[in-house]
Structure 1
Amino acid sequence: MMPSTNRILGKSVIVTIIAVVATFGLSFTARLALQMPIDWLSWVECTFIPILIGMPVSAYIFAQSETIQDTCDKLEKSHTALREAHERLTFVTSHDPMTGLLSRGEFMARMDRRRDEGECDTVLLIDPDHFSSINDKHGHFKGDETLVQIAKALVYATRPGDSIGRLGGEEFGILLREARKEQGMTIAENIRRNIEGIPWVRGQQDVVEVTVSIGGAEISRNADTQNVLRIAGRCLFEAKQRGRNRVSFEYEPTRLQDAEERKTRRRFE
């Protein structure tokens, strides 16, 4: 027999025994109170009637109870599986599959939420120096490995409440919670040093040297997040112009204007 069948029969037998005992007690008490004789028919009625009625009724009730419980268990398992699938889907849609960092959309959404909360944060833009040469010299597999190592360094150098995202290609972004410009510059410099100090040597013919340039901007209350990112991008460009492998929270507008003019001339040449 199946375990559920044994449980149903066991419960039904117990209920039937209780019914028989209760029937004897009530029937004999009533007969004695009314001074009615207790004959063999009384014994038969008090024994078989509870068995004939109580046994099938209780078995049916307990069988339905088992069915309902089994259905509830299946629903619970389905709900757990659905919740886990939703969590996996949410993670996949909000995170970069290669590095495990936030996607650009999720990173921007967190910036917007922090702005709406009225907190003063700092955003950093991190870009590897001469990254295309790594792909050209060592191949795209090594380039992907480099991005993963940089992502790990960013996680190591930031605080638990900070948000780290891969904004596209080789560019990364960090949202430093409740950090002013001075603290942001300190964290950015630690990040730059950590990445510069990563042991990339894998052999005599497999040497990868990686540095990053970092641009940062403080996010004031009710600031436009796109504008903040543009300012951080200009600071990143300034860090590149000043020799790379450095941190910049300031930029010179004339350099940006010259860069835009060079791009325009190349477009029409």
Structure 2
Amino acid sequence: MQIKAGSWTHKLSSMSVFRQVTLMICVAVAGADLLTAFFYWYFEFDRLPLDIVLTTIIVLIVGYPLGFFFIGQNVKLREMALELDRLSKIDDLTGLFNRRTFFAEARRLVAEQVAARDQGAILFIDVDHFKAVNDDFGHATGDAVLKELGAIIRTVVGEAGIAARLGGEEFAVLLHGAEGRRAAEIAERVRRGVANCGRVIPGLERTTVTVSIGIASIRAGYDFEDALLRADHSLYAAKESGRDRVVREDERVAPA
């Protein structure tokens, strides 16, 4: 029977600190008692029960504080490592994926969707006249707009895809199993949500914040970068046609 390397250490590290310390103490007590029993079997028997009790008490007194300290430190380090790994993947302002993580995940998911011939779509989102928001109301208000947009995207997209802030006021969403019409419905919900965000951001009550959204489908034989480029072209068409709108790639007007 072959035991997978590291399986017992994984099981041990998944236990609570109390259980890990208790297991360590039990092993220490058993080892100390066995050694005590061996020496008294070899030399004499009259004080064996008393010394086993004393040995157990000593191990408990010394072992529990040491166990909680060392294993507790190990758990804290593991939690810190997990948190640092999470933070390295997340945009700290919006809570969405950052650009690097989104590109890595999107490449993998698009390749899987293409191989399985599943439908999917890319949404490219840009806040209209965002520089004016920063200039007129300050960067703190601009950050509040981006944060609210991130919350809207998370709520609307949910489990239907993954989303990221690519940088500045640009966002992207990869939708699973969404053909053009379904992707447009999701994009429209994001657009309408942003149009109402001034109500919840102090100072923007009389200002309408809008976004332009471009959509491209995921096609067989093409990769993520191609889909993102086509979504970017759709976004450009939305900007050119007046902003505050959703444009699918099949709705773009071909150049004359």
TM-score (norm 1): 0.69
1:103 is the counterpart of 2:101: no
Q: Does the CA-based 8 Å contact 1:123-1:218 persist in structure 2?
A: yes
Match of 1:86 in 2: 81
Q: AA paired with 2:84?
A: L
Match of 2:108 among 113, 116, 137: 113
Q: AA paired with 2:163?
A: I
Q: What CA deviation, in whole Å up to 9, does each residue of 1:9-62 have, x standing for no partner?
A: xx9xxx9xxx9xxxxxxxxxxxxxxxxxxxxxxxxxxxxx64434423553355
How many residues align? The count is: 215
Match of 1:234 in 2: 233
After superposing the two structures, state which structure 1 stretch, 184-193 or 203-212, moved more. Answer: 203-212
Cα distance in 2 for partners of 1:76, 1:218 equals 50
- CA RMSD in angstroms, aligned pairs only: 3.3
State the 1:215 CA deviation: 0.4
Cα gap change, 1:64 to 1:124, in 2 (>3 Å): same
Q: 3-state SS of the aligned residue for 1:254? A: coil
After superposing the two structures, state which structure 1 stretch, 60-69 or 189-198, moved more. Answer: 60-69
Q: Does the CA-based 8 Å contact 2:198-2:204 persist in structure 1?
A: no
State the 1:247 CA deviation: 0.5
Match of 2:194 in 1: 195
Cα distance in 1 for partners of 2:105, 2:157 equals 16
Cα distance in 1 for partners of 2:156, 2:204 equals 30
Larger radius of gyration: 1
Q: Does the CA-based 8 Å contact 1:120-1:221 persist in structure 2?
A: no
Cα distance in 2 for partners of 1:141, 1:233 equals 27
Cα gap change, 1:169 to 1:205, in 2 (>3 Å): closer
Match of 1:210 in 2: 209
Match of 2:21 in 1: none
Q: Does the CA-based 8 Å contact 1:115-1:221 persist in structure 2?
A: no
After superposing the two structures, state which structure 1 stretch, 119-128 or 94-103, moved more. Answer: 119-128
Q: 3-state SS of the aligned residue for 1:236? A: helix
Q: Does the CA-based 8 Å contact 1:195-1:211 persist in structure 2?
A: yes
Match of 2:151 in 1: 152
Q: What CA deviation, in whole Å up to 9, does each residue of 1:179-234 have, x standing for no partner?
A: 12221011111111111123438778963320100001112345311111111000
Match of 2:41 in 1: none
The answer for unaligned runs of 5 or more in structure 1 is 1-10, 20-48, 256-269
Cα gap change, 1:220 to 1:204, in 2 (>3 Å): closer
After superposing the two structures, state which structure 1 stretch, 239-248 or 174-183, moved more. Answer: 174-183
Q: AA paired with 2:247?
A: S
Cα distance in 1 for partners of 2:216, 2:180 equals 7
Cα distance in 1 for partners of 2:100, 2:216 equals 19
Match of 2:20 in 1: none
Cα distance in 1 for partners of 2:63, 2:45 equals 26
Q: AA paired with 1:100?
A: G
Cα distance in 1 for partners of 2:70, 2:132 equals 55
Cα gap change, 1:68 to 1:221, in 2 (>3 Å): farther
Cα distance in 2 for partners of 1:169, 1:115 equals 24
Q: What CA deviation, in whole Å up to 9, does each residue of 1:79-104 have, x standing for no partner?
A: 32122112210121111111111100
